[in-house]
Amino acid sequence: MRDYLFILDSVKEPIKNENDLLTVKLNLGGVKSGIARKTLEIGSTNYYKRYAGQFIYGKQNFFNVGFGIIPNDMNGKFSSGDVPSLNIKNIDKNFLYFNMSRPDYWKSKESYSTGTGSKCIHEKTLLNFDINVTQNCKEQEKIRNIFFLLGRTDYFQ
């Protein structure tokens, strides 16, 4: 992933209400506005600004397929450090998403999780994952379109 994803210094800002937040749903449920649980106490967590087109995932939910691409209408919303976002470069973002959402891909990465109790995939670990990618953008687009035609319309931007 080193060639395709990179960490951008996140802007830490206070939030005013839960509508400023975004979250990632499990099982390729997409990126949603608001919060996952009603246990939020405004001001108790550090939140970071996220941008449209970034890859976002739940550190504890990578293996529950809790990742996606931030849509345009959620540009500038926030998530905690447990739901980091990474910029995408040198690859079609939909091709990256479809490639990573294959069960044989994300299941094979479980052994890389660390931590006691809740196992996490940290950003630096994710950046070291391999991904098979053709360098030809037209080929990436054709492969992405095949996924789309096969009914993988859970995310297509």
Tell whether 65 is covered by a domain.
yes
What pLDDT is stored for residue 76 in this prediction?
93
What pLDDT is stored for residue 5 in this prediction?
75
Q: How many other β-carbons are positioned within 10 Å of the β-carbon of residue 61?
A: 20
Tell whether 155 is covered by a domain.
no
What pLDDT is stored for residue 24 in this prediction?
93
Chunk the chain into consecutive blocks of 10 residues (it has 157) and report each block's average pLDDT, rounded to whole numbers.
71 81 91 70 77 94 91 93 90 84 87 86 90 71 70 50
Longest Cα–Cα distance in the chain = 46
| CATH for 53 | 3.90.220.20
Tell whether 110 is covered by a domain.
yes
Tell whether 101 is covered by a domain.
yes
What residues contact 35, with CB distance under 8 A and at least 6 apart? 18, 21, 23
d(C-alpha 79, C-alpha 21), whole Å = 6
Tell whether 83 is covered by a domain.
yes
Starting at the edge strand that comes first in sequence, how are the strands of the sheet with 55-57 ordered? 5-6, 85-88, 55-57, 67-69
Tell whether 157 is covered by a domain.
no
Tell whether 156 is covered by a domain.
no
The encoded tokens of residue 16 equal 């005013």
What pLDDT is stored for residue 157 in this prediction?
46
Amino acid in position 1? M
Provide the domain limits for residue 57.
Answer: 5-149
What pLDDT is stored for residue 152 in this prediction?
54
| Paired strand residues for 12 | 48
Tell whether 75 is covered by a domain.
yes
Q: How many structural domains compose the chain?
A: 1
Q: Are 93 and 56 in contact (CB under 8 A)?
A: no
What pLDDT is stored for residue 73 in this prediction?
94
d(C-alpha 4, C-alpha 88), whole Å = 6
